[in-house]
Structure 1
Amino acid sequence: MIRPPLVFFNFLFILMPGSTKGTFVWTNIMITTKINNIHSSLLFCCFSLLQIDHFGFLEDGTFKQRYLVSDKHWHQSGGPILFYTGNEGDITWFCNNTGFMWEIAEELGAMLVFAEHRYYGESLPFGQESYSDSKHLNYLTSEQALADFAVLIQNMKNMVPGAQNSPVIAVGGSYGGMLAAWFRMKYPSVVVGALASSAPIWQFPGMVPCGAFYKIVTQDFAKSGHNCDANIRKSWKAINNISSTASGLQWLSEVFSLCTSLKNKADAAAFKAWLQETWVNLAMVDYPYEANFLEPLPRWPIQVVCKYLSFDSPVSDYQLLHGVSQAAKVYYNYTGSTSCLNISQTATGSLGALGWFYQACTEMVMPMCTDGVQDMFEADEWNFQAFSDECSAMFGVRPRAEWAGTVYGGKDIASHSNIIFSNGGLDPWSSGGVTVNISASVVSILIPDGAHHLDLRYRNDKDPPSVRAARALELQYFREWIKQAKKVN
């Protein structure tokens, strides 16, 4: 079965009813959350009524888009606004994991806005019917989401005293980073610049080799432990051997502490896909300190994982897979509080896997393949037709493989300005990222020791110098953009 990797990329909040069309509600909420010694003392939870369809002129209804606001440090009329372009999930989760914005708000005197992406979290255009069929899902597109953001900002500027001339900078990571870059490209009069962290805007057909993503995953494991990648490469055959019998399936279920026992070949295939995604997720969140992004993990988690996969001499399939089971439990049970492992879930429930799969089945078509030689996975070609058939069976739609490149310009982005593309050397999504300077104002910042959007996370004493330098440079660009905007105003 061909499918895109479902890899991606808790603030207190109160839901309030919306008001009339084109306006929004602010509700004061006192927060006492403390994260990494940073206190957020004031947050507003708001809703804006937006068109379900921005590009048609029939009355197709409205929906309530949720967004979060902090104006604690925004005291000056015309002060800047840092606007987070929400990803495929609950906006409170992204708000909680984007410490960079919180930490520079005081320095810039900035208002913070975290906008939720339509169809995720509480921003459901058709309520509980939003995912009922392809007709209701039809408005889940990046173009509609960008229009939501643009209208939301216009509404805020019209309604909030002192915000009319506020320069807005878009910030996002992963898919949210793609949106931040595209927001600046498509709506340059709305946002004066964008920070697109770990944003694979070139991970589309014909732009990068389909195997580049998994090569980086493999390199991360190869660098983190002796024979680590080689033993993972051997593990697939071992799984095939052991899963060929009913007793072997039961042994795998027990040694991996699975919640549901493996019963047949289909279960064994799902088990291997789960393990593959586990290794991918570890590469994404290989942070230099303990973190709880996708799962609670130790610092440099791949190094910890690889301690169980350092076999030198040939070992039996059972010995090898026992090591793999212990390695997998570093990811799924580092805290020791998990009683069993569920192979249907590999990350936090705050992410919207079904919504992202629909987007991958329509316009976010990102070819992935493995060869088992330059990477540590079983060989698996990219088969667009098989993927398209799966999308048709699941959603009744077929992907438009070339659409994202057409609508957003592909690799021809030199005419744009004021965009930072930051990428971590450990992050497999850097394979589709912009890793070279395009022009004087469309620039790349590389973080060799960085995993997935490390620069957007809170500062930590264990941060490598490369990410500290990246954040300082990003802040410098922000100041320049704000200065430019004020001159124009």
Structure 2
Amino acid sequence: MMYFNLIFSLLFLQANAWKFFHLGRMSGGNLGEPAGHSSLLSSSSVKTSWFTQILNHFNPRETTTWLQRYYVNDQFYNDGGPIFLMIGGEGEASDKWMTQGHGYYGKSYPTEDLSVKNLVYLSSEQALADLANFITTMNSQYKLKGKWIAFGGSYPGSLAAWLRMKYPHLVHGAMSASGPLLADVDFFDYFRVVDESLKTFSEECLTSIKNANEQVSLLMKHPLGLKKLNKAFKLCDPLESLIGEQKHISNFWETLAGNFAGVVQYNKDNRIGKTKAGNITIDDVCGIMVNETIGIPLDRLAAVNSLLLDANHVKCMDYNYDTMIKELRNISRNDNGARQWTYQTCTEFGFYQTSSYSPQVFGDQFPVDFFIKQCQDIFGSRFDGDFLNQVVDQTNINYGGLDIEVTNVVFVHGSIDPWHALGITKTKNQDAPAIYIPGVAHCANMYPKSDSDPPELNQARVEIENYIDKWLRL
């Protein structure tokens, strides 16, 4: 079999002091390198190449091109055999997935900088057209006659499904792991699932988090309370200096909630090269939250925050909204895809994990307007709520949302992963089955097996393989 890995790598947040989990994306990306490295797919058989890609597929008068990186492994290819296309995601591309950007991310840059006028070409539709152009060219260049099967996890999981829907004559089937299909401005269900996932440890954990946040709210009302919070949460800026502006307070609360959301989303996945933070699980944070020897719930919440700061090698919690916006306004080409992903949320998807769900344990201080303000402060005043609602509606019209009409796609989600709330978790069409895996998190099925994997995850992998085998025989 021939493995083509088109590098559409959405390189996301590095370990910035201001955020290590932002807009539902962990620093380093949603899909890490796979644990283990099979000798059958040795790195020596992986070739790195560059593809001359079209900048704008929707205006034939524009002739600008750019170089896009991809990997090829033809170690097992036989003439006429299937070709597997791994669509890279929000992390650094790695040959271990052959063994894995989508322009604007990773090493592939279509433009000289990331100004708004240049980001106009950054969209899922252009990405799909990139893929289609790549497949067509590879078929011609290598005289390929086999069937293409696309794979992707997280946003590339969405792309994999949409690629099969938009270009069925080029892609015979797809595996879409943890891919959100429904664009949604106010993704309040995200924290509903976070709550439910934390509750799998114990009801006591959820209650303790709720009580802790209520205690924080009370302390915020008094000068001495503010000083206690500064020390307890190791704040870079004292609350007294910023509490007068809601944008900073919203960022404070969203950061505290993100501590738990990041842990839940990646709970016990099997990536290698995980940071110390990546190894922190629901058991760890809930173990702290129910440990009465640490102190009152607020003390336990502060202990969770300290755990994550230390694990990410960050000395203080930077909730300063202006610091965050300054970083995201940087238009320089770099390996930090935070600006690029934020742009896509502001122009296509929304996906804002707000505090609108009620009741939930993280309070109500980061509503959807907080995220829309970020769009305007980063990219300009025209990126307002009306604009965002229009583009999100257009995205759902383009792809069908949860009513997508497609065949030969298997949708895979884990019950712990909050993103499953925007995906297909029940089979509506036998030609596009859904696999919902209890007890696992984001993109869990994408990683190689481990002795600690639950039987439901192992069974899901077998089912996916059987579906792909069936499609290839059609």
Contact 1:8/1:175 (CA < 8 Å) preserved in 2? no
Q: Give the helix-richer structure, 1 or 2.
A: 2
| Contact 2:172 2:471 survives alignment (8 Å) | yes
State the secondary structure of the residue aligned to 1:460: coil
Aligned residue among 365, 376, 380 for 1:392: 376
Q: Say which of 361, 376, 380 aligns to 1:376.
A: 361
- Matched with 2:130 is 148
d(CA) in 1 for partners of 2:282, 2:441 = 11
SS of the aligned residue for 2:351 comes to coil
Q: 1:264 aligns with which of 239, 242, 246?
A: 242
Q: 2:429 matched to which residue of 1?
A: 439
CA deviation after TM superposition for structure 1 residue 409, in Å = 1.7
Deviation (angstroms), 1:156: 1.6
Residues in 1 aligned to 2:87 and 2:432: alpha-carbon distance in whole angstroms: 19
2:399 pairs with 1:408: yes
Task: List per-residue Cα deviations over 1:213-269 (Å, max 9, x = no partner).
Answer: 211100111121352111212222322333456665454344334556554215444
CA displacement 1:463-488 (0-9 Å, x = unmatched): 1111101111111112122222xxxx
Counterparts of 1:329 and 1:80 in 2: how far apart (Å)? 49
After superposition, give the CA deviation of every residue in 1:352-390 in whole Å (9 maximum; x if it has no partner): 221111001111123544357432121258546x65454
Instruction: Give the counterpart letter for 2:394 in structure 1.
Output: W
Match of 1:188 in 2: 168
Please report the RMSD computed on the Cα atoms of aligned residues, expressed in angstroms.
Answer: 3.1
Alignment of 1:287 onto 2:268? yes
Aligned-partner Cα distance in 2 for 1:121–1:402: 29
2:343 matched to 1:358? yes
Secondary structure of the residue aligned to 2:70 is strand
The alignment covers a number of residue pairs equal to 422
Residue type at the aligned position of 1:470 = A
CA distance in 1: counterparts of 2:24 and 2:300, whole angstroms: 24
Rounded Cα–Cα distance in structure 2 between residues aligned with 1:372 and 1:433: 18
Q: How does 1:478-489 map to 2 (within 5 A)?
A: 478-484=468-474
SS in 2 for 1:65: strand
Supply the distance in 2 between the matched residues of 1:434 and 1:374 (Cα, whole angstroms): 25
Per-residue displacement from partner, 1:7-54 (whole Å, max 9, x unpaired)?
238x9xxxxxxxxxxxxxxxxxxxxx9952534332222211111100
Q: Tell me if structure 2 keeps the 8 A contact 1:236–1:377.
A: yes
1:305 corresponds in structure 2 to 285
**CA distance 1:431–1:351, change in 2 (3 Å):** farther
Q: Which residue type is aligned with residue 309 of structure 1?
A: M
TM-score, length basis structure 1: 0.78
Deviations 1:92-116 (A, max 9, x none): 3xx55x5xx74xxxxxxxxxxx3x1
Give 1:405 shift.
0.7
CA contact (8 A) 1:419 1:443 kept: yes
The answer on whether the counterparts of 2:269 and 2:444 sit within 8 Å (CA) in structure 1 is no
**Larger RCO (CA within 8 A; separation ≥ 6):** 2
Question: Do 1:89 and 1:351's aligned partners in 2 also have CA atoms closer than 8 Å?
Answer: no
C-alpha distance in 2 between matches for 1:34 and 1:355: 24
Report the CA distance shift for 1:288/1:353 in structure 2 as closer, same or farther (over 3 A).
closer
* Cα distance between partner residues in 2 of 1:190 and 1:382: 41
TM-score (norm 2): 0.80
1:322 shift after superposition? 2.3
SS in 1 for 2:413: strand
Residue 460 of structure 1 pairs with residue 463 of structure 2: no
Identity rate of aligned residues, in percent?
28
| Residue in structure 2 matched with residue 54 of structure 1 by the alignment | 57
Query: Which SS does the other structure have where 1:421 is aligned?
Result: strand
**What does the per-residue CA deviation read over 1:192-230, in whole Å, with 9 as the maximum and x for residues that have no partner?**
10100011102436xxx8432211100111121352111
Change (3 A) 1:246 1:78: farther
CA distance in 1 between counterparts of 2:159 and 2:276 reads 25
1 CA distance for matches of 2:204 and 2:374? Answer: 36
Determine helix, strand or coil for the equivalent of 2:175: strand
Gaps of 5+ in 1: 12-32, 103-113, 485-489
Equivalences for 1:31-430 in 2 at 5 Å?
Answer: 35-36=35-36, 38-39=38-39, 40-42=42-44, 43-74=46-77, 76-92=78-94, 96=96, 102=99, 114=100, 116-127=101-112, 129=113, 131-132=114-115, 134-160=116-142, 163-204=143-184, 210-244=187-221, 248-258=225-235, 262=239, 263-265=241-243, 266=245, 267-287=248-268, 296-298=277-279, 301-310=281-290, 319-334=296-311, 338=313, 340-343=315-318, 352-366=337-351, 368-371=353-356, 373-379=358-364, 383=368, 387-388=371-372, 390-396=374-380, 397=383, 398-399=387-388, 400-414=391-405, 416-430=406-420
What do the CA deviations read for 1:260-315 (whole angstroms, capped 9, x no partner)?
Answer: 6554215444222211112111111111668655764447x1111111111679x9
Note closer, same or farther for the CA distance 1:51–1:41 as it changes in structure 2 (3 Å cut): closer
Contact 1:89 1:117 in 2 (8 A): no
